[in-house]
Amino acid sequence: MDHRLLTTDPKEMATVLEHPEMLPPRRPHLGSFVIGTMVGGIVGAIVGTALSPYTRGVFVGLYHLLNRRLSSAERDQLRFELLLQ
């Protein structure tokens, strides 16, 4: 049943249900879309700003961790080469 039908008269309801073309045409909810887009943009900006120092810290930490592992791997390789001599 369509919620656009605002009548309680059973005869009118039956007529409209038999002929749905009598109902007014549906309009897209442009207002809801615009409000959702604005709220999403604002929330996205706030969350992005709040996470940026955290995200930067994670990437810097991973970079240092990878560099440390590479330097320890190089150290192990140097030890092995010294043992071969």
Q: What is the pLDDT of residues 12-61, one digit of tens each?
A: 766 666 666 666 677 777 888 899 999 999 999 998 888 888 888 888 88
Alpha helices in the chain (DSSP H): 10-18, 30-84
Q: What is the pLDDT of residue 59?
A: 83
pTM for the full model?
A: 0.39
User: What does the alpha-carbon distance between residue 17 and residue 48 come to, in Å, rounded to a whole number?
Assistant: 49
* Rounded mean pLDDT, 66-78: 76
Q: So where are the chain's domains?
A: 55-85
Q: Residue 4 above 70 pLDDT?
A: no
- Please give the pLDDT value at position 35: 93
pLDDT of residue 41: 95
